[in-house]
Amino acid sequence: MKVALVHDWLTGTRGGEKVLRELARLFPEAPLFTLFHFPGSVPAEVEAREVRTTWLQRVVSPRRDYRSLLPLYFVACEGWDLSGFELVLSTSHCVAKAAKRGPRAFHLCYCHTPVRYLHDQFDDYLRGRGPLARAAARLVRAPLRARDVATVPRVDAFLANSENVRERIARLYGRTARVVPAPVDDRFYSPAPRERRGLLVVSALAPYKRVDDAIAASARLGLPLTVAGFGPEERRLRALAGPNVTFAGSPSDEVLRELYRSAELVLMPGEEDFGIVPLEAQACATPVVALGKGGALETVVDGATGVLYPSPGPEPLARAIDLARSTPFDGARLVANAARFSEAAFRARFLDAARAALLEAGRSDLAEGLPRAEP
């Protein structure tokens, strides 16, 4: 069976790229189609793949905000030639789901989210932007949102990374989806004796992540904060930060693990579709303080593996940090909660869901070609 993998873009390693790594392991011969690729930015299993980019590869640069080219993404993705493949597996938070399969092929989309910045998190993405940027974004939103919805029929079956995203797929796209939670590498992310001090945010530096809430809350409490991540908000966030804040850039996996192990608390102040960071933190026995919306409701057990707070903003976050610092958490409980989302569990769930979707569509020929999950 000829399988193609499709991913929006390859510019860094976040939760989506960790899902892609698992699919690359399951389908080692499948080429990878993407809009553009910054070499060296993603896991080795993905870097080693045959990567086929679009003409955008000649336009984008790590030194520029490639997100401003969003209208071009919907044009460039039409250039993916998938005509020779029987099974197309897309992992999508933007345009990967728009991949056009051949007439006898099947397109299974693992959806991280319907496009946040065109649908119900549009205003969050514009936080901190000037009036001209806001006006321009509102001008292109409607036609791009219509284009996004128009490509939904290209997907034969959806998988969602959380119940939260399953509901959004149903509401925004009118489609059902099976839930396959994203994986955490709980063999690598593990506890180790360390002195724990200060707060940690691990996040893309984008407006909807609300990293500024963490900066303001840590300043109010007089606690040190480390921010690990990169993105278009970095300059603004550095201007807001006081001497208590350290920017760690984009750390290696080993350095990130040490940051988790030595933090008193990991903060997630923005609403996530699923959110792999809380699980990596819990795998290292570090409690999480998270906004109690979206994916955090599925990964953080309030009062047992962290604290969920009800509304965004520095003040509610600061109160939740105070509560978490006075709560006696059981490290073994945190590790056990993360283990429910292990890589092995992901592979088994993904293959079960893919097989069920194919059989439901009458494609037993493709279902029989899927690999078997290893224990």
CATH fold match for the domains 3-183+342-367 and 199-339: yes
Per-residue pLDDT tens digits for 261-283: 999 999 999 999 999 999 999 99
Q: Let me know: does 233 contact 207? Beta carbons within 8 Å.
A: yes
Nearest to 331 by CA among 302, 305, 296: 305
Q: State the Rg of the chain over Cα.
A: 20
Buried b (16+ CB within 10 A) or exposed e, 202-235: bbbbbbbbbbbbbbbbbbebebbbbbbbbbbbbe
Give the residue-averaged pLDDT of 12-17.
88
Confidence category of residue 137, pLDDT binned at 50, 70, 90: low
Neighbours of 370 (CB within 10 A): 18
In the block, residue with structure tokens 């910045």: 117
* Residue spans per domain, the chain: 3-183+342-367, 199-339
Per-residue pLDDT tens digits for 178-214: 999 999 999 999 999 989 999 999 999 988 899 999 9
* Residue 191 burial (C-beta neighbours within 10 Å; 0-12, 13-18, 19+): middle
Pairing assessment for the beta strands 306-309 and 245-249 based on DSSP bridges: unpaired
Structure tokens at 210: 């609300």
The structural architecture, per CATH, of the domain 199-339 is 3-Layer(aba) Sandwich (3.40)
Q: Let me know: does 300 contact 269? Beta carbons within 8 Å.
A: no
* Top-level class of domain 3-183+342-367: alpha beta
Per-residue pLDDT tens digits for 60-92: 988 777 777 888 999 999 999 999 999 999 999
